[in-house]
Amino acid sequence: MKVKEIIHSKWFFIVTALLPMLIFYIIFCVVPKITAFYYPFTEYDGISAPVMVGMKNFKILAHDFDLWASMKNNVFFWSITMPLNFFIALIVAYILSQKNYPTANFYKTLYYLPAILPGVIIALMWQFAYHGRYGIFNALLNLIGVNVGEKYWLTHDLYAKLALILPMVWSGWATNMLIFMGAINSVPVSLYESAELDGASDTVKLFKITIPVIWETMKTMIFLGIAGLFGAFELILIMTNGGPAGATEVVGTYMYKIAFGAEGVAAFGYAAAIGLILFLILSTISIFAFRFMDRGDAIELGG
């Protein structure tokens, strides 16, 4: 009788219903985040127990030329793809929301399609598209009269860097488009109507009405875009694996190689130290941007 009472009590329900989620959350989400502050101060090959080495990893890291070169590549990719993703999305979203073309919904669906495809397929597809002899990219260039011969885009250091931007934008911009469309559709119709009565052109309406009203959303998106600084890691890992000769190496691929690379012993401590530096850089920029933009509602949008 007593057991049954306990089983049917409110407290028993709360504990049994909440505990599974909490246990899984703590083990698989919280623990890796906490140990991310421990392993950077150790030397750990994954076989023998980790040894505390103090700041040693960070001293090596400060003079690791390859690491800072890969960080520069992150900045390179980010500083090109983020504005592209942003402005293409803004323009397309404006046209789709304002023009009422009957095809608007069809285009919205189609444009967003690459964003939902498996990352591995996107990367492999583009890798083959850049193939010198059989890839569609050169075939397309030929079609519009640009003959580059059998150019293998991913084996030349500068071309590889430029070639990676296309799939990044191809699969990345449409997410911004959807957010912009949501924001633009919330602009009061009456504003446009009175502007149209005054004979305002589309450009005037975009700059005088739409952008000022969705300004807050745009700031939030810039803020969220900062988190993309170390993104596109999988794409690069598959398409070039950082090559040729480190030309497209980003922090993610570099860290991956140190931790899981085939050659030598896995240096988990050092790789974790790079992870911690990434975390600190992102947090610093985010806090800075957050205060600079004076944002409180970034949370609403998600990211």
Partner 1 sequence: MARKEQGQSGMVKRQNVGDYILRGLLALWALIIILPLIWVIYTSLKTNQEFFMSAWGWPKTLQWNNYLIAWKELGIGQSVLNTVYLVVGSMLLNTFLLSTGCYVLARFKFPGSNLIYWFIVGSYFVTGLNTMVTGYILMRQLNLLNSLTGLIAFYAAQPLVFNTLILTAAMKGQPKELEEAAYIDGATYWQTFFHVGLPLSAPTLLTINILNFMRFYNDFLHPLLFIRDESKFPLSVAIYSMSQAMAYRSDWVTLFAAFVIMMIPTITIYAVFQKNMTNNLMVGSLKG
Residues 78-97 that bind partner 1 (CB under 8 A): 92, 95-96
Asked if 100 interacts with partner 1 (CB under 8 A), we say: yes
130 binds partner 1 (CB under 8 A): no
DSSP 30: I
Question: Does residue 284 belong to the site contacting partner 1 (CB under 8 A)?
Answer: no
In the complex, the smallest distance separating the C-beta of residue 20 from partner 1, rounded to whole angstroms, is 5
Our finding on whether 288 is near partner 1 (CB under 8 A) is no
Binding-site member from 89, 129, 154, 214 for partner 1 (CB under 8 A): 129
Nearer to partner 1, 55 or 113 (CB): 113
Site string for partner 1, 216-255 (x = CB under 8 A): --------x--x--x--xx---x------------xx--x
Give the dihedral of Cα atoms 68, 69, 70, 73; nearest 10 deg: 120
CB of 224 to partner 1, least distance (A): 7
152 binds partner 1 (CB under 8 A): no
Task: Give me the sign of the Cα torsion angle 78, 73, 167, 147.
Answer: positive
Q: Is 296 exposed, middle or buried (0-12, 13-18, 19+ CB in 10 A)?
A: exposed
Q: How far apart are CA 39 and CA 53, in angstroms?
A: 10
Show contacts of 143-150: CB within 8 Å, 24+ apart: none
Give the total of residues touching partner 1 (CB under 8 A): 93
- Which 157-176 positions form the footprint of partner 1 (CB under 8 A)? 170, 175
Residue 197 found at the interface with partner 1 (CB under 8 A): no
Q: Which of residues 44-73 bind partner 1 (CB under 8 A)?
A: 44, 46
**Exposure string (b/e) for 208-242, b if CB count within 10 Å is 16 or more?**
ebbeeebeebbbbbebbbbebbbbbbebbbbbbeb
Residue of 157, 303, 281 whose CA lies nearest to 229: 281
Cis omega (within 30 of 0) on the bond before 167?
A: no
Q: Which of these ranges, 62-70, 121-129, 148-156, 207-215, lies near partner 1 under the rule CB under 8 A?
A: 121-129
